[in-house]
């Protein structure tokens, strides 16, 4: 009593068989006549009805078996045909943003074994295609720009990043809603983004584009004018995109360089935002990623305190006072990007400033060496022009050049260069900013658009502007090449360290495995190139850290 033998053998088996046959017939005609969404609606309806039937007049144990049968006949058998239907299949639904149909598709296909794999695959292909199209669009726009400023990240690239963020938002929503947060779809999204997010645009890598995008949001007068909330949100999204970029170390370096400029030239719009993004970066990429940047921000805070002590020192030592208001920012070398320091010949007035500060600094610490980076300084100087007196905000380099005209009315390019002791590149740049740009403080002879070594310069006493105080910008040198060089150098060290670490613990390891483990260890920051790893291995062999096994050249041994 109570056993299901008769039910199962005499009734259920036949019922299941007939149901299967029934649905098989139905499906074979539906698949031809109906669009994918319509078919799915019918399928869903059928499943619901069968479920109801079981509830009404069958034993509950039949439910899973019956539903499985129906699912098999309606879905498994026709899965690929359904998904690949030309105008209504999965691709089309994604293209036309048919969210509801996609949700249904998810619900149905999640019931059949391995049903979601092809759906996730199509999703991945779709997102990849959309992303790649964005890249191409931006690339086309960038290359159609005529000549000028090819190396500078422009508006098109900004727009591109915005669009990628929007694309990401859109499809994350899909993953969360239609695809119910399923890991397969998270993975598909990630892989899709990894494909196109690593493509550069207009000669700039995606790492650089993201860093510049952040810079524009965080700096004063940046191209993005957003509310605080919007800024926070956007920064959050940018950090999420960073996860897809393999050259994270390159991003870090570009970001650091731009952060330095913002901090040193007082271009940072909002301290809180600066700290906030660093926190987000730290969460995503680890403390090591942001430690230097945090150090930079701290340095500025310390610098303010230091300045207060310096001013006190000056009030207490009146004869030490250089006669000029001086603000010094002391930077901790390890945190900041490396800057070349040139031996600029300072005007006499400034030389005293440097000495005074040096003496003061000696009273604070005896064991530190101060290296002055004049290329980063700014100066406010008073220009006594005939129309009216004006205040000019310039860089130290520009100020040094202008002050030369206090003792000479007219100077040649070579005289200026000799007196300042700077390179041609720097001299051309600074003279250009003073004589060929918006504000012509100096008159150039001949009055051409660019500076030549044969030019002569004179103080333009007639210069004026409606403002009393103007800023004369000195465009920065293109840092891109240097950043890439620095990052490559750091990568070589990182690869070396990783190989040594792995070999030290494993003692003996085959080539393939060593490379694999190295790639894994370094993956958080960048994707090491196989050739680069090989070169480092060979270098380490030459430096006697490793040797090849005598019998198997593919095996390496650690040399203690």
Partner 1 sequence: MHKLGRSHRDKVQQVMAITGASEKVALQALKASDWHLEGAFDVFYSQPHIRTYTDTRHLEELYQRYKDSYADMILVDGITLLCNDLQVDPQDIVMLVLSWHMKAATMCEFSKQEFISGLQGLGIDSLEKFRERIQYMRSELKDEQKFREIYNFAFGWAKEKGQKSLALDTAIGMWQLLFAEKQWPLVDHWCQFLQARHNKAISRDTWSQLLEFARTVDPTLSNYDAEGAWPYLIDEFVEYLNENNIVQKSQMEDPARR
Contact footprint for partner 1 (CB under 8 A): 510-512, 531, 534-535, 537-538, 541-542, 548, 553-556
Comparison of 85 and 536: residue with beta carbon closer to partner 1: 536
Distance CA 183, CA 188 (A): 8
Distance CA 225, CA 70 (A): 56
CB of 544 to partner 1, least distance (A): 10
CB of 514 to partner 1, least distance (A): 9
Comparison of 18 and 549: residue with beta carbon closer to partner 1: 549
Comparison of 340 and 550: residue with beta carbon closer to partner 1: 550
Q: Tell me the two tokens of residue 500.
A: 């040594």
CB of 531 to partner 1, least distance (A): 6
Comparison of 296 and 499: residue with beta carbon closer to partner 1: 499
**CB of 36 closer than 8 Å to CB of 82:** yes
CB of 526 to partner 1, least distance (A): 19
Residue 458 parent element (H or E):
strand 456-459
CB of 533 to partner 1, least distance (A): 9
Comparison of 60 and 512: residue with beta carbon closer to partner 1: 512
Nearest to 15 by CA among 55, 52, 50: 50
Distance CA 402, CA 474 (A): 14
Residue 538, Cβ density class (10 Å: 0-12 exposed, 13-18 middle, ≥19 buried):
exposed
Comparison of 388 and 535: residue with beta carbon closer to partner 1: 535
CB of 547 to partner 1, least distance (A): 9
CB of 549 to partner 1, least distance (A): 10
Comparison of 472 and 514: residue with beta carbon closer to partner 1: 514
Comparison of 237 and 536: residue with beta carbon closer to partner 1: 536
Comparison of 343 and 538: residue with beta carbon closer to partner 1: 538
Distance CA 49, CA 57 (A): 12
| DSSP secondary structure code for residue 246 in this structure | S
Three-state secondary structure readout of 404-455: HCCCCCEEEHHHHHHHHCCCHHHHHHHHHHHHCCCCCCEEEECCCCCCCCCC
**120: how many CB neighbours lie within 10 A of its CB?**
23
Question: Look-up: residue for tokens 């994604």?
Answer: 94
CB of 554 to partner 1, least distance (A): 4
Q: Tell me the two tokens of residue 425.
A: 């590149």
Comparison of 229 and 544: residue with beta carbon closer to partner 1: 544
**255: how many CB neighbours lie within 10 A of its CB?**
25
**CB of 239 closer than 8 Å to CB of 276:** no
CB of 292 to partner 1, least distance (A): 32
CB of 557 to partner 1, least distance (A): 12
Question: In Å, what is the CA distance from 150 to each residue of 40, 146, 156, 159, 547?
Answer: 51, 8, 12, 16, 47
Question: In Å, what is the CA distance from 132 to each residue of 100, 196, 200, 208, 433?
Answer: 26, 6, 11, 18, 40
Q: Tell me the two tokens of residue 34.
A: 């109906």
Comparison of 17 and 527: residue with beta carbon closer to partner 1: 527
Residue 391 parent element (H or E):
strand 389-395
CB of 198 to partner 1, least distance (A): 23
Bridging pattern class, strands 469-471 and 389-395: parallel
């Amino acid at each position: 009593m109570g056993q299901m033998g008769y039910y199962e053998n005499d009734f259920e088996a036949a019922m299941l068989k007939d149901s299967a046959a029934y649905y098989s017939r139905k499906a074979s005609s539906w698949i031809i006549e109906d669009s994918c969404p319509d078919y799915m609606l019918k399928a869903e309806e059928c499943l619901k009805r069968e479920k109801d039937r079981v509830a009404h007049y069958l034993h509950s144990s039949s439910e899973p078996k019956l539903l499985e049968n129906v699912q098999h006949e309606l879905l498994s058998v026709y899965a690929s045909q359904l998904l690949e239907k030309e105008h209504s299949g999965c691709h089309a639904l994604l293209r036309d943003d048919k969210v509801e149909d996609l949700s249904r598709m998810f619900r149905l296909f999640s019931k059949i074994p391995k049903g979601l794999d092809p759906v996730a695959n199509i999703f991945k292909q779709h997102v990849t295609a959309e992303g790649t199209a964005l890249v191409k669009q931006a690339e086309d726009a960038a290359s159609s720009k005529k000549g000028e400023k090819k190396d500078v990240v422009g508006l098109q690239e900004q727009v591109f990043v915005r669009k990628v963020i929007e694309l990401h938002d859109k499809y994350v929503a899909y993953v969360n809603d239609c695809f119910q947060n399923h890991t397969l779809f998270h993975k598909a999204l990630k892989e899709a983004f990894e494909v196109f997010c690593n493509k550069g645009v207009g000669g700039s890598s995606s790492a650089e584009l993201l860093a510049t995008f952040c810079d524009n949001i965080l700096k004063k007068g940046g191209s993005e004018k957003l509310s605080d909330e919007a800024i926070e949100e956007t920064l959050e999204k940018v950090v999420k995109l960073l996860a897809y970029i393999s050259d994270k170390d390159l991003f870090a370096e570009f970001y650091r360089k731009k952060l330095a400029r913002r901090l040193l030239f007082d271009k940072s719009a909002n301290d809180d935002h600066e700290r906030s993004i660093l926190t987000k970066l730290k969460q995503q990429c680890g403390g090591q990623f942001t430690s230097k940047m945090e150090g930079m921000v701290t340095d500025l805070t310390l610098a303010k305190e230091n300045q207060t002590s310096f001013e006190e020192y000056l009030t207490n030592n009146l004869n030490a006072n250089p006669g000029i208001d001086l603000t010094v920012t002391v930077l901790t070398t390890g945190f900041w990007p490396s800057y070349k320091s040139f031996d600029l010949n300072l005007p006499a007035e400034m030389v005293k400033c440097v000495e005074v500060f040096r003496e003061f600094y000696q009273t604070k610490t005896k064991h530190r060496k101060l290296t002055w980076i004049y290329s980063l300084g700014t100066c406010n100087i008073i220009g006594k022009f005939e129309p009216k007196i004006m205040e000019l905000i310039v860089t130290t380099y520009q100020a040094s050049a202008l002050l030369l005209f206090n003792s000479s009315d007219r100077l040649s390019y070579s005289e200026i260069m000799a007196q300042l002791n700077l390179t041609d590149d720097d001299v051309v740049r600074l003279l250009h900013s003073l004589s060929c740009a918006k504000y012509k403080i100096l008159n150039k002879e001949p009055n051409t658009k660019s500076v030549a070594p044969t030019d002569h310069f004179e103080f333009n006493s007639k210069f004026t502007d409606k403002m009393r105080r103007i800023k004369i910008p000195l465009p920065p040198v293109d840092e891109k090449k240097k950043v890439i060089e620095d990052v490559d150098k750091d990568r070589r060290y990182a690869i070396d360290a990783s190989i040594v670490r792995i070999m030290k613990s494993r003692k003996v390891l085959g080539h393939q495995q060593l490379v694999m483990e190295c790639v894994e260890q370094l993956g958080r920051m960048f994707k090491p190139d196989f050739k680069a790893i090989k070169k480092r291995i060979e270098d380490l062999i030459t430096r006697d850290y490793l040797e090849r096994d005598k019998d198997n050249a593919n095996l390496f041994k650690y040399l203690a």
